Amino acid sequence: MKIISVALLSILFVFILCACGNNIPNTEATNTDDTKTGKSLETTAKEELSNYIDKAKQLLNKQNFNEALATLDTAEQIYGQDSRIDEMRTTVNVEKLLNEVSQYEEKEDYLGAIKYIQNSSSTVTEDTRVMQKLNVLKNQYKDIALKQAEKLSDNSDYEAAIAVLEESQKVLDDKDISDAIKRYKDYLPINIADLDYFSGHDFTVDNNVRDNLGNTHNNVTSPSGENAWANKVTTNIYKINKEYSKLTGLWFQLYDFRTEIVGGISATNYYTELEIYGDNKVLYSGNMQAGYEPKEIDIDISGVSELKIHYFGGGSDGSYSGIADFNLHK
């Protein structure tokens, strides 16, 4: 009996060992399956992301820039940030910018194109092609600005020429433009009151002055005001050294002295005298008083080295006349 019991126990023990052995997990096999499964997911994700990028490329080729960018945004929401998405987004934005710029170029709106680029993001403006395009646009805009200013200066419209160049300088910062501005400024008319006299007195310049026809003028020169001299008379001499070609202005009777009697003073009796000499030669001589219409002054002073102006204002209480835009021109 003992022998049989021992045999039965041995058989039972072997049976238990076998049963337990069948339930021991195969760790190596399970790990291999998980690794294979992980690689499959990663590969799938890469393929799907590539599909999004390929789709963005196709949309880009059709110039559907906004749809291409939207596709990339969707890919980033699903798969997170990725260098391939960033690179493709930059490519789309660059192509989109260059396309917009080409539309400005077709209209020859080079300034608009330049501002469009300058207002774009730095990631786009730092692109080599965009930088090259910006340089081309600046040169085109510079040429147009210089030609336009030259055309205006040919008509002696120096202020307009300077305005064109100063506007271009806001985006160009170019030496040729700066030199042109300086050159045209040298040709701007200079008011006789702003010119240094060799001997004489200062002229007064006033704005919003009415003539005897009721018209209002600015930059009106006359021997009047707080710095005026006794009897409002002066003889000024200017050393202009043959630098100017003409002297212009509009000479008129002041509105308040358009009648014969003002405050008991006879404007007719106190007329204004104006004499202009070039190198001691009389170039202009005349009178202004009540009842006279404004007179245009346009005197050739080419080759004159010494300019002399005799101006008697009209009376001890002030000048009865003024000269609007009494300017020298080069």
Indicate the domain borders of the chain: 110-186, 191-329
Sign of the alpha-carbon dihedral angle for 226, 229, 232, 236: negative
% helix / strand / coil in the chain, to the nearest 5? 50, 25, 25
CA dihedral 122, 124, 128, 134 (to 10 degrees): -80
pTM beyond 0.85: no
Each residue's pLDDT tens digit in the chain (330 positions)? 444 454 444 544 444 444 444 444 444 444 444 444 455 677 787 888 899 999 999 999 999 999 999 999 999 999 999 999 999 999 999 999 999 999 999 999 999 999 999 999 998 999 999 999 999 999 999 999 999 999 999 998 999 999 999 999 999 999 999 999 999 999 999 999 999 999 998 888 999 999 999 999 999 998 754 444 344 678 999 999 999 999 999 999 989 888 766 566 655 566 788 999 999 999 999 999 888 999 999 999 999 999 999 988 766 555 788 999 999 998
Counting DSSP H helices and E strands in the chain, the numbers are: 9, 16
Q: Please give the order of strands across the beta sheet that includes 233-239.
A: 233-239, 306-312, 272-278, 281-288
- C-beta neighbour count of 149 within 10 angstroms: 25
Predicted local confidence at residue 47, as pLDDT: 86
CATH class of the region 191-329: mainly beta
